[in-house]
Structures are given as C-alpha cells and as structure tokens.
Amino acid sequence: MTRLCTAMGIALFAVMVATGAAPAQTIIDEWYQAKLPPPPQLKPVTIDPKTTALLVMDFTVQTCTQARRPRCAASVPKVKKFVEEARAKGALIIYSVAVPKSVPGDILKDLAPAPGEEVLPPLGPDKFIHSDLEKTLHEKGITTVVAMGTQAQTSVLHTGGEAALRGFKVIVPVDAMSADDLFPELYTAWHLANAARISDQVTLTKLDMIGF
C-alpha cells in the first residue's frame, strides 16, 4: 500500500510539472499572483488638544523636497495648515529628524518648530527607542498621538505601531505620510489597520477629517 501511495504521489507530481501546476516554493514564486486587499476605511475623528500630541517626523531638507521625495513635498502645505491649527489649540507638537548628523535646523522652513517645541535627534524609525518620548507623553498627560512623516514605512509605521503597543491611541492621516512611491504608503496603511494589538488602537483618516 505504501509503495502504491508513493507511486501515485510521484505520478501526480509529474503531471503537475508537465502541466505547469507545480506548487510554488516561496512567496517570491507567487509574488505576482497576490491580489490587493480593499483599502481600509478612513474615519472622521475629533481630538482633544490637551491630551493629543502631533508627531511631525522627518520633514527635513534631506528627505522631503521635490527632487528627493515629491510625494512628501506635495503633502507639506496640508501638514503645515494642520500643525498650525493644532498648535493654536494648544496641542503638544514634537518633531524629529532622521538622517544621521541632521539637526533641528534641517527641518523644512514651512514646518519649523515653534520656540520650545521638542525635536528628537536622528534615532531611527522607532522614535521611542533611545529617547524619553514615552516619558514626555505621559508627563504631559498625552493619551493620543497623531503620526505624520516620511518615510511612511519607517517613521509612521514603526513609531505609530509602537505607540499603539504602548497603549496610546494613534491617529494616522494617510495624506500626511509619504514615501518614494505608492506601495510603501499602501502597505503602511494596511499594516496599521490590520496588525494584531495595533489595529484596535489606530484610526486611519485624512487631515481634513480631523476636528478639534
């Protein structure tokens, strides 16, 4: 019986090979068969400035220009308007720079920090690592963060995801996160909307869907 089963298995595999139906070995073999999931739903949200912090991440002359990353450059006017509105309402604004050896002066002039606003040094994609960000947020009574920045698959994905895992509510305006092209933004939105222990804490939205 065992020999018969083995022979049948070999014969079946031979037929699959002959007909081009051999099973794929890895995701790489099936890469182009993947179908895009439906886009996640964007929801309106109202924030309390007293308990909300804006994380304005890595909008610098090294990372966010028309020549370097046009999708980021195109987002700046909307981000600027939102940051100014939130600042006027009293929300906490925290900036970061990304490129090694970059300094606060590298932040785009349109998004320049106001006096006294914190600028995190170039820490990598997760702004909680090697920083006092979580301590600062707790000391200020912050329960919600708005994650904006470039690249989406680094600063927004990792810092936003980590904020969710640390118990913060996370708002991600998808028109305020950018990358070199569409796919990293798409993946970041999908991950934040679907990852276990993260998705329950995250709300995807647009800047003009955020109220105070």
Alpha-helical runs (H) found in 19-105: 70-89
> Which residues, 6 or more positions from 93, have their beta carbon under 8 angstroms from its beta carbon?
53, 54, 56, 83, 86, 87, 113, 114, 117
Average pLDDT for runs of 10 along the chain of length 212: 44 46 81 94 98 98 96 98 98 96 96 97 95 98 98 97 98 98 97 98 98 96
For the chain, give every residue range classified as CATH 3.40.50.850.
Answer: 45-211
| Architecture (CATH level 2) of domain 45-211 | 3-Layer(aba) Sandwich (3.40)
Q: How many residues appear in the chain?
A: 212
pLDDT at 1: 46
pLDDT at 23: 66
